[in-house]
């Protein structure tokens, strides 16, 4: 009975995926790549103009930033749509990528649940600040929308679990595996969509399925991205994150190795999700808008 109930919850979640919301949330995820001074007053390039076919996401006000050199997240208010948006900055340089590949697991959340130590400690370093920012802006009729790209997706999931709000929606892009199978199963109650791009290698990290596992629903955009063009409508949904018919059909050790990092920054056909010129600055003057 419990198995059927979980399956029903999963099916309901998959039916709830909205590609238009994904385009909006990738905008919020890209904004977090910018220096905080550019989006604190909603003056970044993506904030005002969008990029290509990605429209600027709804304006956020009363933005608060949690930042300590190891992690960055922001909380903003979308008053018109009665929601808070919480976005976490992802990996933006090779030093951080190497730190992300640390393999040590620590037990958290439940007995036997183990998570990547680096991601967990990065989130914990700003958890108190993120919690205070949410509590000071929260209203009874608000939802909380979490997002993040790459490592930012891992931090977003930790935030949703640790803060334990019931009225949440999550869209992450190119997030790596975060913990073991028990941890992945424990996240099934979240209203969450893990968007995976074509042959992006990062969702298949960390490549040790005996230790690291992920859960669904996975939304796999299986067409080769065309940066700068209309976002693709060709995607497949899978109930479990290790489904061999979704991205694992093309990116799966030892038989299918994906190594091209350019697919990691082209979600929803953005030409460069972490490109500061594209999402942050006036390209001609390299100044903030």
Q: What is the CA radius of gyration of the chain?
A: 18
Positive or negative, the CA dihedral 199, 9, 13, 162 is: negative
C-alpha 241 chain-centroid distance: 15
55-98 tens-digit pLDDT: 999 999 999 999 998 899 999 999 999 999 999 998 755 455 55
Task: Give the architecture (CATH level 2) of 2-288.
Answer: 3-Layer(aba) Sandwich (3.40)
Torsion angle defined by CA atoms of residues 214, 66, 53 and 78, in that order, rounded to the nearest 10 degrees: 100
Tens-place pLDDT, residues 13-64 = 456 899 999 999 999 999 999 988 889 889 999 999 999 999 999 999 999 9
Answer yes or no: is pLDDT of 7 > 90: no
Q: Quote the tokens at residue 261.
A: 């990092």
**Residue 6 pLDDT:** 46
* Beta carbons of 179 and 114 less than 8 angstroms apart: yes
pLDDT, tens digit (0-9, with 9 covering 90-100), for 95-132: 555 555 567 889 999 999 999 998 999 999 999 999 99
145 pLDDT above the threshold of 90: yes
β-sheet bridge partners, residue 240: none
Instruction: Express as a percent the part of the chain with pLDDT over 70.
Output: 86
For position 240, what pLDDT does the model report? 79
> What is the number of residues in the chain?
289
The DSSP line for 128-197 is: HHHHHHHHHH--TT-EEEEEEETHHHHHHHHHHHHH--SSEEEEEESPPP-B-HHHHHHGGGS-EEEEEE
Q: What is the pLDDT of residues 221-268, one digit of tens each?
A: 999 999 999 999 999 999 877 898 999 999 986 677 888 889 999 999
Confidence of residue 2 (pLDDT cuts 50, 70, 90): very low
Does the pTM exceed 0.85? Answer: yes
Say what the pLDDT of residue 207 is.
61
């Amino acid at each position: 009975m419990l198995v059927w109930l979980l399956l029903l919850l999963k099916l309901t979640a998959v039916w709830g995926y909205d590609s238009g919301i994904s385009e909006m949330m990738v905008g919020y995820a890209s904004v977090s790549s910018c220096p905080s001074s550019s989006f604190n007053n909603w003056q970044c390039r993506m904030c005002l103009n969008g990029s290509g076919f990605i429209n600027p996401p709804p304006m956020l006000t009363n933005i608060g930033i949690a930042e300590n050199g190891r992690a960055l997240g922001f909380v903003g208010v979308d008053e018109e749509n009665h929601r808070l948006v919480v976005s976490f900055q992802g990996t933006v340089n090779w030093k951080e990528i190497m730190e992300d590949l640390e393999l040590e697991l620590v037990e958290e959340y439940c007995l036997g649940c183990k998570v990547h130590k680096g991601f967990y400690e990065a989130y914990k370093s700003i958890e108190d600040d993120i919690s205070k920012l949410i509590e000071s802006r929260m209203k009874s009729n608000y939802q909380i929308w979490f997002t993040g790209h790459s490592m930012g997706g891992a931090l977003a999931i930790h935030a949703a679990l640790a803060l334990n709000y019931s009225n949440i929606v999550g869209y992450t892009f190119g997030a790596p595996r975060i913990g073991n199978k028990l941890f992945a199963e424990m996240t099934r109650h979240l209203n969450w969509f893990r968007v995976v791009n074509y042959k992006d290698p990062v969702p298949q990290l960390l490549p040790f399925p005996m230790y690291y596992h992920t859960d669904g629903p996975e939304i796999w955009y299986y067409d080769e991205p065309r940066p700068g063009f209309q976002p693709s409508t060709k995607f497949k949904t899978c109930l479990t994150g290790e489904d061999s018919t979704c991205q694992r059909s093309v990116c799966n050790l030892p038989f299918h190795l994906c190594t091209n990092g350019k697919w990691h920054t082209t979600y929803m056909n953005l030409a460069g999700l972490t490109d500061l010129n594209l999402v942050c600055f006036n390209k001609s003057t390299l100044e903030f808008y």
